[in-house]
Structure 1
Amino acid sequence: MIWIELLAQAVLVATGEGAAETFPQAVPAMTLLSAVSLVAVICWLRRCRLNAEAFAPGTHRYSPGFAIGGWLIPVAMLWIPRRVTLDVRRASGLAGRAWLVEGWWWTRLVKVVVALLATRSLPNPMFSPYVAVLTAASGVMLLLVIREITAAQTDRITAGPAAAAPATAI
């Protein structure tokens, strides 16, 4: 879903000035794609958070419910999903600096700020090339985060109980 959303965003930006003509059709479609992508990411994070609890019980800052609720709580949504993702990454056995998670999260936040600023000059911020570039960067980094954590968890699950030693803190 994230790939489809990124492709749709690229098509919108590529149409340039012509995008204003398709504005009535583009906004609902992009909103739906974004919502479906977000639900998919939340479901993935929830599953990974439950797995992470089995890998490193009691070492997480937030309960598994925050893998979902953290995205929905105003203001807290600015840091809880990032923290849950970092905890899941650590518990999955990925050591070292989590630059990919940090890059994804900060690019996402900058995109939101730029989109808010773009609303002053454009009918919809999704037509801003700056928002499009930040969306693409954030989306690609998120896909890499998903791949990294999913691979680490798959490796731990297929390795069996011998790999279930608690992960060390970052």
Structure 2
Amino acid sequence: MPTYGVRGLTVAGASAVGAATLCYLLTALFPLVGVRMARSAAEQLDRDVLLGAVLAEVLFSVPYLLALLTAGTLVVIWTWRARKNLDAFPGAVPNLSPAWAIAGWLVPLANLVVPARVLADLLRNSVWQRRQSWLVGVWWASWLVFLIGDRFVARAEQQRYDRLTELPRNDAEFATYVRFYEDALAPRLVPAVACLVAGIAFVVLVRRISAAQQDRLSRAVPVWPGQPVWPGRPGWPAPAAPMPVAPTSPQVPPTPGGTIGA
């Protein structure tokens, strides 16, 4: 069965997941910057400062989206390779086919359950330690909280933002923008904490599974070719001794009642 190295992909995928997690935390904490800009706009009655706050939040989101896309691509490739390796491991009994290692992330509704089952298969059949299965539960629970919480917070913020005055003109209307950013921080903390926990748990799982698989793959590969040894040097095999030949009796012509030569 073909096998696939996962060490380099593990480093790249873990780095991308870490970068995406960090970028999301920065976007979640943006209200700390937005409230300062909104207060400055209210003091100066300057709409351009409010527009600058909106543009700044967009700029904060771009690195996160790029890191998330990169991390998602690397994670799908890693999951497929790690699952294919199980087919070459004697004793491994995965519950899902390698196709689900890809489709499980992409098919709607299935992506709420299948990736957790695939990762549990990888952990169980690679590390062979059931006591570590709780890591899968921690990762998947925090990941679901992050997905659902982020969408809920984004939708609620959009509804609150639509109710703001598009072109504020006085102190009261500018103050609504200040309150918008002040109230936006607390709800964002829930998906931010969930994202942090999910990112850390996933990196730990990926590293442990990959280390176990790489160790097993390295022990299964024979050392070939060996160290070169020149003729006449120590270690060069001695000439093989000639095989002993059993003595035979001379052949004699057959005679009545006799034998053919022994």
TM over 0.5: yes
> C-alpha distance in 2, partners of 1:93/1:24?
42
User: Are the counterparts in 2 of residues 94 and 152 from structure 1 also a CA contact under 8 Å?
Assistant: no
Query: How many Å apart are 1:106 and its aligned residue?
Result: 1.0
Query: How many Å apart are 1:44 and its aligned residue?
Result: 0.9
Instruction: Specify the alignment match of 1:115 in structure 2.
Output: 150
Do structure 1's residue 135 and structure 2's residue 176 form an aligned pair? no
Q: TM-score scaled by structure 2?
A: 0.56
Query: How many Å apart are 1:80 and its aligned residue?
Result: 0.8
Instruction: Specify the alignment match of 1:159 in structure 2.
Output: 219
In the alignment, residue 33 of structure 2 is paired with which amino acid? G
> C-alpha distance in 2, partners of 1:81/1:73?
11
User: Are the counterparts in 1 of residues 26 and 60 from structure 2 also a CA contact under 8 Å?
Assistant: no
> C-alpha distance in 2, partners of 1:93/1:133?
28
Instruction: Specify the alignment match of 2:75 in structure 1.
Output: 41
> C-alpha distance in 1, partners of 2:211/2:62?
34
Query: How many Å apart are 1:14 and its aligned residue?
Result: 4.0
Is the alpha carbon distance of 1:118 and 1:15 closer, same or farther for their aligned partners in structure 2, counting shifts above 3 Å? closer
Instruction: Specify the alignment match of 2:206 in structure 1.
Output: 146
Equivalent pairs counted in the alignment come to 161
Instruction: Specify the alignment match of 1:77 in structure 2.
Output: 111
| Rg larger for | 2
User: Are the counterparts in 2 of residues 52 and 92 from structure 1 also a CA contact under 8 Å?
Assistant: yes
> C-alpha distance in 2, partners of 1:24/1:9?
12
Is the alpha carbon distance of 1:116 and 1:7 closer, same or farther for their aligned partners in structure 2, counting shifts above 3 Å? closer
Q: TM-score scaled by structure 1?
A: 0.83
> C-alpha distance in 1, partners of 2:22/2:129?
32
Deviates more, 1:13-22 or 1:48-57: 13-22
SS in 1 for 2:136: helix
Cα RMSD of the aligned pairs, angstroms, is 2.5
Structure 2 regions of 5+ residues with no counterpart?
1-15, 35-52, 162-183, 222-262
> C-alpha distance in 1, partners of 2:27/2:196?
12
Query: How many Å apart are 1:9 and its aligned residue?
Result: 2.3
SS in 1 for 2:105: coil
> C-alpha distance in 2, partners of 1:56/1:90?
13
> C-alpha distance in 1, partners of 2:29/2:120?
35
SS in 1 for 2:156: coil
Percent sequence identity over matched residues? 28
